[in-house]
């Protein structure tokens, strides 16, 4: 964001500087050079803005398609699942969970990541790096990010084992082996079938799942509070 703002300031400032230099060296005041230069700068700025908007739109499409695919695959494992929910946070505030799925041994707390390109990152790295063509960005390690969400779920149902799982969708390459509890979307079925939860003392699974659903904050005020929380994080 800072880099883009600096670029815009340079583009806007260059015409004025050139026009001023023209007046200083020639002594002739004319609006035509400045008008032409401002027009060129405006076109360049418009191009940058359109490129940025196109990139954002493409990412939204990738995210939406990825979410639909994950929901479709999770739907094979029963109806006891919720998506895109907000619950009280583990350490105060609020937590948003992409997907929570009740299985025969516990609850999967799923964080989804949708992207194309190459991702570099390990299980304990604070941040991962995503490279897509000439674009490079760093983002929070989703395993660490989702650990707080898993604990928020655990606070609601302390007797139920909760597993932290990150699911990757999109044409993504990991130069290093995938970290533990990070899978590709096509591996969901095998993971759900083979994952072993820790011991549990759950007497009433239906009641435990109802407790999760009852804790969901679905009102508009909670959504606004969560958005405000993100803006300050």
3-30 pLDDT, tens per residue? 555 554 454 555 545 455 554 454 444 5
First to last CA, the chain: 16
Q: Is 106 helix (H, G, I), strand (E, B) or coil?
A: coil
- What's the pLDDT score for residue 33? 61
pLDDT tens-place string over residues 151-201: 999 999 999 999 999 999 888 899 989 999 999 988 988 888 888 787 777
Look up the CATH number of domain 78-232. Answer: 3.40.1350
Question: Taken in order 204, 206, 207, 208, is the CA torsion positive or negative?
Answer: positive
Instruction: Report the relative pairing of strands 135-140 and 162-169 from DSSP bridges.
Output: unpaired
Question: Taken in order 89, 94, 97, 100, is the CA torsion positive or negative?
Answer: positive
pLDDT tens-place string over residues 44-82: 676 656 554 554 545 555 566 667 778 788 877 767 899
6-10, 215-219, 221-225 — which one is most confidently predicted on average? Answer: 215-219
Q: Report CA 143 to chain centroid distance, whole Å.
A: 12
- Alpha-carbon distances, residue 6 vs 12, 45, 54, 193, 231 (angstroms): 10, 12, 21, 51, 22
With tokens 């398609």, the residue in question is 65
Instruction: Report the relative pairing of strands 162-169 and 172-173 from DSSP bridges.
Output: unpaired
Is residue 135 within 8 A of residue 170, CB to CB? The reply is no
pLDDT tens-place string over residues 115-134: 889 999 999 999 999 999 88
Please state the length of the chain.
233
Q: How far apart are CA 100 and CA 108, in angstroms?
A: 6
- What's the pLDDT score for residue 153? 96
Mean pLDDT (the chain, rounded): 80
Residue 192: enclosing H or E segment and its boundaries?
helix 188-194
Structural domain spans, the chain: 2-57, 78-232
Q: Report CA 183 to chain centroid distance, whole Å.
A: 16
- What's the pLDDT score for residue 170? 85
Burial of 140 (0-12, 13-18, 19+ CB in 10 A): middle
Token duo for residue 176: 């290093």
Output DSSP code: residue 182: E
Token duo for residue 188: 């969901």
With tokens 């895109």, the residue in question is 84
């Amino acid at each position: 964001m800072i880099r883009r703002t600096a670029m815009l300031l340079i583009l806007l400032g260059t015409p004025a500087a050139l026009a001023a230099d023209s007046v200083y060296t020639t002594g002739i005041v004319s609006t035509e050079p400045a008008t032409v230069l401002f027009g060129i700068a405006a076109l360049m700025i418009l191009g940058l803005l359109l490129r940025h908007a196109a990139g954002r739109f493409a990412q939204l499409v990738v995210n939406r398609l990825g979410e639909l695919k994950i929901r479709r695959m999770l739907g094979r494992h029963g109806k006891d699942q919720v998506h895109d929910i907000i619950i009280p946070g583990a350490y105060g505030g609020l937590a948003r969970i992409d997907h929570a799925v009740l299985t025969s041994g516990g609850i999967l707390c799923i964080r989804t990541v949708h992207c194309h390109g190459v991702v570099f990152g390990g299980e304990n790295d604070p941040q991962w790096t995503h490279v897509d063509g000439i674009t490079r960005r760093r983002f929070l390690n989703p395993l660490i990010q989702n650990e707080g969400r898993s604990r928020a779920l655990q606070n609601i149902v302390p007797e139920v084992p909760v597993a932290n799982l990150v699911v990757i969708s999109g044409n993504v390459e990991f130069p290093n082996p995938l970290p533990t509890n990070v899978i590709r979307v096509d591996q969901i079925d095998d993971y759900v079938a083979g994952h072993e939860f820790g011991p549990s003392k759950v007497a009433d699974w239906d009641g435990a799942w109802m407790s999760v659903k009852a804790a969901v904050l679905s009102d508009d005020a909670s959504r606004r509070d969560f958005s405000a929380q993100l803006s300050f994080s």
